[in-house]
Amino acid sequence: MHNELIPFNRPYLSGDEFYNINLAIKKGQLSGDGFFTKKCHEWLENIDKNNIKKALLTHSCTASLEMSAILCDINLGDEFILPSFTFVSTANAFVLRGGKPVFVDIREDTLNIDESLIEKSITKRTKAIVVVHYAGVPCEMDIIIDIAKRHGLIVVEDAAQGLLSKYKNQPLGTIGDIGCFSFHETKNITCGEGGAILINNEKFIKKAEIIREKGTNRTNFIKGEVDKYSWIDIGSSYLPGELNAAFLFAQMEKAEYITNQRLLLWNNYNKMLNPKKQFSTPFIPLHCKHNGHMFYLINKSSRSRNTIISNLKANNIHCVFHYLPLHSSPFIKNNFTTDNKFLPVTDFISNNIIRIPFWIGLEDASQKYIVSQILSEFY
């Protein structure tokens, strides 16, 4: 048995976080949109100069999604299409505006929304398609964008896990009208809690700045375009503090290194676990480039997924499952008519997925121990 618990996640430090935080303090602005926030904006906009019209840091991906729902003009009874296999924020942000979630099943291979099922879920009340790039693996965006254009819908990318992943060489978060990122502790690039919204459709820029500034035109005031600012639309406090931005920029400067290190770990797991038959491993389409966000197994054996996880924990390996489907949640059942939504792939994946430890610094010997214990559970 491994002497110490192998945690599921351990945040990576680039080494420059404390230097940046001290510099931010010396600069004297701790509220949002200071020196380091602007550096983060520039870094994000350089991901794809041709498509990103504006990047704005937020205090979480949830905040970015809430801004997206306002930009989509979601009102009471408006529908939005999304996968049920996602974090609650993907839906909650739009429900807060009065939206009705319309859940679509996921693909068996990538665990992303099944693009072949989207069009038949569109009604006259549909306003947006919200896609989730699960584990940093891209959805089939060409098909989804085509559907959206033909029906006059807005596409929002929940790319919380997808920073620096690419679909046909285009970075995730830059393909739809709006992209949302997370910099939560569990993400590749982190500041503990943080997020960003990418505005790829120019018509949303001005409104996004107003929403983010609590519904005021303060951004125009700072630019010298108006002599005072006032309340002109709905909004909220979505800016992160400058210390978070300082921490985040230190990570952004090492983003390529971080991604490459994660891919090495991912490939190592894949080499050792991919050929096995008692479970399936992540699938990456040939036209997609992922960022090594996570490694998971889909249990195919008759043994309970939860039993396997418990036994691995007993051997000092902290493995976890993932999302409970939103369509079967108490909130949805109590508040929406879903016509007894039947999403068989979503339900199967939710009941059988096992996510295994994955973080920079996980030693080769530890990976081999994890794999050996997993295989002993299945064979």
Q: Give the CA distances from residue 53 to residues 45, 100, 221, in Å, rounded to whole numbers and listed in that order.
A: 8, 29, 20
Across the range 316-335, mean pLDDT stands at: 94
In one letter, which amino acid is 242?
Answer: E
Residue 116 and residue 189: Cα distance in Å, rounded?
A: 32
Summarised one tens digit per residue, pLDDT across range 68-94 is 999 999 999 999 999 999 999 999 999
Nearest-10 Cα torsion for 240, 24, 171, 51:
80
Whether residue 10 is predicted with pLDDT greater than 60 in this model: the reply is: yes
CATH number of 17-252: 3.40.640.10
Choices 3.30.40.10, 3.40.50.1000, 3.30.2270.10, 3.90.1150.10: CATH for 255-378 = 3.90.1150.10
- The sign of the dihedral angle between the CA atoms of 80, 83, 89, 92 is positive
The rounded distance, in Å, linking the Cα atoms of 82 and 358 is 27
Tell me how crowded residue 306 is: count the other CB atoms within 10 A of its CB.
12
Average pLDDT, the chain: 95
28-32, 62-66, 104-108: lowest mean pLDDT where? Answer: 28-32
Per-residue pLDDT at 227 = 83
Q: What is residue 367's predicted lDDT score, i.e. its pLDDT?
A: 97
Q: What is the pLDDT of residue 338?
A: 61
d(CA 305, CA 165): 29
pLDDT in tens, 209-228: 999 999 998 888 777 788 88
Report the run of H or E that residue 171 belongs to, with start and end. strand 170-171
**Average pLDDT rounded to a whole number, residues 146-169:** 98
- How far is residue 38 from each of residues 35, 75, 130, 229, 347, measured CA to CA in Å? 5, 32, 27, 21, 42
Chain centroid to CA 280: how far? 22
Residue ranges of domains in the chain: 17-252, 255-378
Average pLDDT over residues 179-191: 98
- Whether 340 shows a pLDDT value over 60: the answer reads no
The two tokens of residue 3 are 């002497």
Quick one: which of 48, 336, 326 has its CA closest to 198? Answer: 48
User: What is the crossing angle of helices 364-378 and 255-273, to 10°?
Assistant: 40
